[in-house]
């Protein structure tokens, strides 16, 4: 049953798992940009004050190409927030970027065709599955209501996100237990002993 569309504007803080989201009918710049400015201003109000001596990774120079002149960052407030989002046309708006920089927010764009690097995509899939599992919505408004309720339930006990996490650690340990075979794509779980032929004997040769 086609009853309209519903989209979810989402901001995720991976360190805590907290989500700021709002279901909407459409996401043009006239809807996205005011919502983004409003939510980011609220986030900045909850941030602790910038330290007198910036820590490594909390300076503009740590994230901007070193070829930029020093005066570029000198005229900006302390760096407070890193905003990672997709490289979409609606995000590449100079007026919005200038407003973010003046607030101490640095927008960082994921590579083209690299939206999977944005963890907000991951939490959106989780929220949408939870909201719609076993349900049969009759209207877009019903879907938006379920999404909003699911976001509220998620924020009661949010799950922090990490790059890699336990699954990547297991894969890394598994790679350490592998023994590559002559530079090929194959491997064994235990090392192969080298053939040590007796002096004067001729080793057998096998061709494949």
Place of tokens 């407003």: 99
| Percent of the chain residues past pLDDT 90, beyond the cut | 41
Q: What is the pLDDT of residue 150?
A: 96
Q: Residue 54: pLDDT above 80?
A: no
> Over the stretch 34-52, which tens digit does the pLDDT of each residue have?
999 999 999 999 988 888 8
Q: Which of 154, 151, 143 is nearest to 24 (CA)?
A: 143
Backbone angles phi, psi at 188, to 5 degrees: -125, 160
Residue 56 and residue 124: Cα distance in Å, rounded? Answer: 31
Q: Which of 151, 147, 149, 125 is nearest to 23 (CA)?
A: 147
Residue 147 and residue 83: Cα distance in Å, rounded? Answer: 23
Q: Residue 205: pLDDT above 60?
A: no
Q: Which of 30, 24, 73, 78 is nearest to 51 (CA)?
A: 78
What's the pTM value of the predicted model, to 2 decimals? 0.74
Q: Six-digit token pair at 56? A: 């490594």
DSSP helix/strand/coil, 24: strand
Q: What is the pLDDT of residue 183?
A: 61
Q: Which residues, listed in sequence order, are joined to residue 85 by a DSSP beta bridge?
A: 109
- Average pLDDT, stretch 89-100? 87
The H or E element containing residue 60 is none
Give the chain's domains with CATH numbers.
7-156 (3.30.420.10)
Q: Which of 15, 27, 61, 12 is nearest to 144 (CA)?
A: 27
Q: Six-digit token pair at 2? A: 């086609």
The H or E element containing residue 81 is strand 81-85
Pairing of strands 7-13, 18-24: antiparallel
Q: Residue 114: pLDDT above 90?
A: no
The H or E element containing residue 167 is helix 165-176
């Amino acid at each position: 049953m086609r009853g309209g569309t519903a989209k979810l504007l989402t901001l995720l803080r991976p360190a805590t798992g907290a989500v700021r989201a709002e279901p909407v009918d459409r996401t043009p710049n006239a809807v996205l940009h005011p919502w983004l400015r409003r939510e980011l201003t609220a986030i900045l109000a909850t941030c602790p004050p910038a330290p007198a001596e910036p820590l490594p990774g909390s300076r503009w120079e740590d994230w901007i190409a070193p070829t930029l002149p020093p005066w570029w960052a000198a005229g900006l407030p302390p760096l407070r927030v890193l905003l990672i989002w997709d490289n979409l046309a609606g995000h590449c708006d100079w007026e919005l970027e200038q407003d973010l920089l003046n607030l101490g927010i640095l927008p960082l764009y994921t590579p083209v065709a690299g939206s999977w690097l944005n963890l907000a995509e991951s939490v959106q899939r989780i929220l949408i599955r939870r909201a719609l599992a076993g349900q049969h919505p009759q209207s877009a408004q019903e879907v938006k209501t379920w999404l909003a309720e699911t976001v509220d339930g998620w924020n009661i006990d949010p799950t922090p996100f990490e790059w890699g996490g336990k699954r990547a650690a297991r894969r890394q340990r598994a790679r350490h237990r592998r023994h590559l075979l002559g530079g090929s794509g194959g491997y064994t779980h235990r090392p192969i002993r080298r053939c040590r032929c007796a002096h004067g004997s001729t080793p057998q040769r096998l061709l494949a």
